[in-house]
Structure formats: structure tokens, C-alpha cells
Amino acid sequence: MTIKTMTRLNEIHQWLEDVLSSADYQLDIASADASFRRYFRVTMQDKTWILMDAPPEKENTQPFITMATFLYQHNVHVPKIEAQNTQAGLLLLSDFGNKAYLDELNSDSANRLYSLAINSIIDIQRCPVDAIDLPHYDHDLLQQEMDLFPTWFLDKHLSIASPDFLQNTFDILINNALEQPQVIVHRDYHSRNLMHTAENSPGIIDFQDAVVGPISYDLVSLLRDCYISWSDQQLEQWINYYLSQAQQQGLLINISTARFTRWFDLMGLQRHIKVLGIFARLNYRDNKPNYMNDLPLTLNYVRQISAKYPEFHQLHKFLTHQTQIAAIQ
């Protein structure tokens, strides 16, 4: 353990002792994520909390605090902030336990868990956009995200030059995103960021990068998850469930299933192109190689959707015939 790590742990312990008015607690590693944040589980007698450690020189806790407070006030099931020290980058949160959706999903549980998760998406989408100041998923941000694909996946990972048609592909995907109704978007709504809780499941975490953006985004993050996949028949069933619930709540009025499905498919294509770049960047820049295990499923989604729509024929051909890409299974 480095001196810097020991100093940080001492800072954490001093703050916890002040907050809990006791040193009689246990501190255990709960998880880490793709950023510089770490999470600890704090146990004292029969009570537990989650401590977020977000070093202020690396992470800004304010977006998390702002979003957590807003969603909690609008009855979305996010952690309650029990205590905070923004200067030190420390938050004490209510504990949703250790049952991530990814570990709980199977053929028996999927319908129930996804129905609950879809209901929560609609809860988020019903929140008033004008009641909180969030970034917008605009043209520049969508472009910036997809640029990670040629930079990190094609060039850095595979040493392949970016094809000439790629920007035209990106333009189609950007237009698809911008033509949709714009709502509050979690932006990383998938099975590792949903906790199966005893009451009011799911507990939703990792929402600090929320934006105002396309209405299909969170649903495609959930249903075309980079960590678990389902049949087209199941996806169609869950898309229809979402549409029926959304329309009952005044969302997506007069939007056909066919139109929404196209929005959904192309939104997923944008997301998965971006994620291929992110996974490669996490490996090469941030020394987090485990995400490379998730490249095949993510790439398969891109191949699948690019094959479905004629306007992405060149992309599908490129992914199929480039030897280095075709070899990723």
C-alpha cells in the first residue's frame, strides 16, 4: 500500500468517525468503476452504508449530488445522500446491497426484472427537463462519442485506417438521435448499474453523467446491454411493453412501433460504436483490460443492426471483411 493510499484511507476514517460519532465500524471494498471512483461498504452494528471515494483532483462529485437529489425528490429509486464532504470528495449513501441485475438475471427472472427496470426508465423520463440544468445530448457530444471508435478501436487497437464512409454513417445516427423526443437520460442504464433490491427494485446507481437526450437511449442501454444479451423475440416483447407504458404516461403519443423500433436500433448502433472506443480506451489509457472481454458482444450488436438497414451496408461490409475486426468473436 502506497503512502498516498494510506493517507487517503486515514482521511476517510477521520471523516467517517465524525459522521458516525463512532470508530466502531467496519470498512470493506464494495466495488470500483470505469472512473477513478471507489466504493466501500460501511457496517456498524446492523446498519450499512456505501461510501463513495471520489478524489477531488480526479472526480467532481457535484454532478452526482445534483442528480441524486433531483431524482430522489422525484421518487426515482436512487441512493439517499446521508452525508457529504465535497471538498474531500466523500459521500455516504444508502446501501442497495450487492445483488446487481447482471447476477440476478436468468430466463425465469428476466421478464419481472426488466418490467421493473422499464417502469423506472419511465419514472426518469417523466421528470421535468426544465427543472434541472443538465447538458444536452447535442450534435457535438454525439459526434465526440463516436469519434472514440476510429481513434481507440480502429487505430489504437487494430491499426486500421478510418474508412471514408464513416462520417456519413455518423451523420445518419446523429440525425436519428436529434429527431427523437428529448427527455432526461441516465446514459448508462444497464445490468451493472441496476441493483435488485427487496423493495422498490431496481435501485439505480451511476447516474452522474445524465443528460437531456433521445427517449430511446436508456431503453437500448438496458435491452442491448454490453454484458448480457437476449433474443430478438424477447426484445420485441419488452419494447412493446415499454411503448404501452410510455404512451399511458403521455410519452410517445402517436409514435408507431415501427418508427420507435428504428429509433431504438439506430440509437443502439450509436451507443455501441461509442462503447467499442470506450472499452479500447479503458484498456490502453486507463489500464483496465477486463472491458476487452466485452468487445465481442458489443461488436456483434453493431454487425447485427448494420445488416438490418440498407443505409449501413458499407459499415456492415467493412466490419465483415476487415480481417482484424472479423476475427473478434
CATH number of 101-326: 3.90.1200.10
Kindly report the pTM of this predicted structure.
0.94
Q: Provide CATH 3.90.1200.10 ranges for the chain.
A: 101-326
Sign, CA dihedral 114-47-35-324, equals negative
Taking only the tens place, the pLDDT of each residue in 108-118 is: 999 999 999 99
Residue 218 pLDDT level (bands cut at 50, 70, 90): very high
Q: Which fold has domain 3-94?
A: Phosphorylase Kinase; domain 1 (3.30.200)
Q: Are the CB atoms for 83 and 91 separated by under 8 Å?
A: yes
Q: What are phi and psi of 20, to 5 degrees?
A: -90, -5
Q: What's the pLDDT score for residue 244? A: 97
Q: What's the pLDDT score for residue 31? A: 78
Summarize the confidence of residues 294-309 as an average pLDDT. Answer: 97
Q: Are the CB atoms for 70 and 131 separated by under 8 Å?
A: yes
Q: Provide CATH 3.30.200.20 ranges for the chain.
A: 3-94
Q: Does residue 136 register a pLDDT over 60? A: yes
Sign, CA dihedral 299-302-308-310, equals negative
Taking only the tens place, the pLDDT of each residue in 97-106 is: 999 999 999 9
